[in-house]
Structure 1
Amino acid sequence: MASTYKDHTIVCGLGKVSLKIIRWILDLDEEAVVIEQHRDNPYLDEVRSWGVPVIIADARRPEVLEEVNIKYAESIVPGTNDDLVNLSIALQARQLVPNLKVVLRMSDTAMAENVRTGFDIYTTFSIPEISAPIFAAAATRAPLDHAFTYDEGGERGLLTITKFVLVKESLLVGYTVGQLEDEFDVAVVAHRQDGKFNLHPANDTVLKAGDRFIVSASIEGVNQIAEYTPPRREVDRYHRGRWPIKGSEERRVNSE
């Protein structure tokens, strides 16, 4: 069955990270094929239950890659726990299909950078490099959901992604998206209102109580908005009186 696939992603190695990668690929309405070397892998049944073909073999062997129709694949993700095995798979794949997109998982940050520059595999991701900003940002007081780094023109920093719920007591009710972005120096990347979800909502969109919105911002920007309405994951604490917001009592009195 795997030999009939086209425009698919080949995932090599089945572990906790690979499992999430496969699930996301399927959720994006794309197709995946898995190559796993060990028959006793505990995730095999789950992946197969999703309708994903699994080949039990060594992904470093060219005949195995040909068996999963690598010449017609969209990409390959060497995702084992061994950096050298992943690199070996990537190089073998590139030998068979020189222009194939390789998304390479690595644990060694320095090695990942060397692979990017030395082997022309620029979609090489170091797990510590990706996870470190999230852990560092989460260790601050910022109630963020995700974080990633930027390094442009010598400036290095963190950007965050955070989901907020606009409670009826918030002074932000009645703001437009443009006003929110200008006042707090954030970017509203998505907005849900009356059951309708919009990416990049218009600047003149008026925010109403009960709306949900996602912002990309600095840690400072996230903290400032959180002073006026709770992040989604803190809504329960807000209703229990454990997440105070500015102006809530004033708005409550005025509404009465």
Structure 2
Amino acid sequence: MGDPATGEVVARRVLQLIAGFVGLAVLPLVVAATMNATEAFRTASAGHLPADDLTDHIVVVGLGKIGTRVLAQLCTTDHEVVAVERDPHARGVALARELGVPLVPEDAGAPGVLDRARIRHSKSLLVLTRDDGENLDIVMAARETNPGVQGVMRLYDDDFAATVQRTLRASYPDAPTRSRSVSALAAPSFAAAMMGRHVLGVMPVERGSLLFTVVDVAGHPELEGRSVHEAFREHEWRVLAVGSTSGHPASSSGDTLAGIRFRRPGFDWRPPHGRVLRAGDRVVLATTRRGLDILMTGVQPHPVDRRG
């Protein structure tokens, strides 16, 4: 085509035109075949797709730092797992290949990708990418395909997570929708340990947490010399049990709320409201993060007007 045979016989010119058109028609086919071969090689190198008869499995979307740890933990159980990750260089891709976990190396938000992960037949979905909005979109798309799937999504922004929780509860009133802040749950225990307090347990409450801790009454004007009823402070702490400091260390790394309740003698779990707390007493408290901060630092916050 670049050197037309204009001065040649008609048969040669016709043959040249036919060869040019055939070449133009074959070129896209060659490019398409090359692209398909490249994609097939990438898919095969990343991992194998889930079997056509796979059911009751868990789909994990996102194999970053958190997704990799979740994948490793799930693989220690009897659950079947399918991973979805669009980045072939993500840290969890090598782990999935090593553990033989079926992997769909595509964007979970693209049409048909969740179907290839057999989301219709799965029982749970964990969406753990870094994009809050994308995580929500993936979960909602999965719920449209499989209304019975149990979805867990990672939401970093606290306000956005609270809004999502309210919206989902209004949209699915019968679903057990829960929202938890990992930092909110971990921070009180970390801060208490730094200040020498021992947290026996943490109970998630909406986006916050309720803490159970052991406190010596001595040195706490909010407790010492007050009755159990007077020591109660709304939205901050409540005395659950009263014991003695004699014979019991202030804290033990093996203590839990159940352990204090059932294994350690000497705690009265139904103290009279008029029982006055003395310097030699030790109490088990249910506190909020705000209440624990007051007990640890002794700094009284500004009063909050709760009438509005």
TM range (shorter): 0.5 to 0.7
Shift of 1:137: 3.3
Contact kept? 1:76, 1:103, Cα under 8 Å: yes
**Counterpart for residue 150 of structure 2:** 101
Contact kept? 2:59, 2:122, Cα under 8 Å: yes
Residue type of the alignment partner of 1:31: E
**Counterpart for residue 157 of structure 1:** 210
Structure 2 CA distance for aligned equivalents of residues 73 and 33 of structure 1: 9
**Counterpart for residue 31 of structure 1:** 80
Cα displacement string for residues 177-218 of structure 1 (whole angstroms, at most 9, x for unaligned residues): 9762453589xxxxxxxxxxxxxxxxxxxxxxxxxxxxxx86
Structure 2 CA distance for aligned equivalents of residues 219 and 9 of structure 1: 36
Structure 1 CA distance for aligned equivalents of residues 111 and 184 of structure 2: 30
Q: Please give the secondary structure, in 2, of the residue aligned with 1:2.
A: coil
1:135 matches 2:225? no
1:70 matches 2:119? yes
Shift of 1:36: 0.6
Q: CA separation of 1:65/1:100 partners in 2, compared to 1, >3 Å: closer, same or farther?
A: same
Q: Please give the secondary structure, in 2, of the residue aligned with 1:111.
A: helix
Q: Please give the secondary structure, in 2, of the residue aligned with 1:60.
A: coil
**Counterpart for residue 202 of structure 2:** 148
Shift of 1:164: 2.9
Structure 1 CA distance for aligned equivalents of residues 145 and 186 of structure 2: 32
Q: Please give the secondary structure, in 2, of the residue aligned with 1:34.
A: strand
Residue type of the alignment partner of 1:148: V
Structure 2 CA distance for aligned equivalents of residues 138 and 62 of structure 1: 48
- Please say which structure displays the higher CA radius of gyration: 2
Residue type of the alignment partner of 1:180: R
**Counterpart for residue 63 of structure 2:** 14
Contact kept? 2:123, 2:148, Cα under 8 Å: no
Q: Please give the secondary structure, in 1, of the residue aligned with 2:154.
A: strand
Q: Please give the secondary structure, in 2, of the residue aligned with 1:106.
A: coil
Residue type of the alignment partner of 1:60: G
- TM-score normalised according to structure 1 size: 0.58
| Equivalenced residues, count | 176
Q: Please give the secondary structure, in 2, of the residue aligned with 1:157.
A: strand
**Counterpart for residue 239 of structure 1:** none
Contact kept? 1:109, 1:129, Cα under 8 Å: no
Name the structure with the higher strand share.
Answer: 1
**Counterpart for residue 113 of structure 1:** 162
- TM-score normalised according to structure 2 size: 0.49
Q: CA separation of 1:117/1:99 partners in 2, compared to 1, >3 Å: closer, same or farther?
A: farther
- Where in structure 2 are the equivalents of 1:183-222 lying within 5 Å? 183=266
Percent of residue pairs identical:
27
Contact kept? 2:210, 2:286, Cα under 8 Å: no
Shift of 1:11: 0.7
Structure 2 CA distance for aligned equivalents of residues 59 and 17 of structure 1: 17
Contact kept? 2:127, 2:138, Cα under 8 Å: yes
Cα displacement string for residues 123-171 of structure 1 (whole angstroms, at most 9, x for unaligned residues): 4443433433343333331466x8534449xx963148x8639xxxxxx
Q: Please give the secondary structure, in 2, of the residue aligned with 1:138.
A: helix
Structure 1 CA distance for aligned equivalents of residues 268 and 75 of structure 2: 35
**Counterpart for residue 92 of structure 2:** 43
**Counterpart for residue 202 of structure 1:** none
Q: CA separation of 1:179/1:57 partners in 2, compared to 1, >3 Å: closer, same or farther?
A: closer
Q: CA separation of 1:51/1:163 partners in 2, compared to 1, >3 Å: closer, same or farther?
A: farther
Contact kept? 1:37, 1:59, Cα under 8 Å: yes
Structure 2 CA distance for aligned equivalents of residues 136 and 177 of structure 1: 21
Structure 1 CA distance for aligned equivalents of residues 268 and 188 of structure 2: 21
Q: Please give the secondary structure, in 2, of the residue aligned with 1:43.
A: helix
Contact kept? 2:180, 2:204, Cα under 8 Å: no
Q: Which runs of 5+ in 2 are unaligned?
A: 1-48, 170-174, 214-251, 270-283, 288-308
Structure 2 CA distance for aligned equivalents of residues 179 and 110 of structure 1: 39
1:180 matches 2:263? yes
Q: Which runs of 5+ in 1 are unaligned?
A: 166-175, 187-216, 221-256
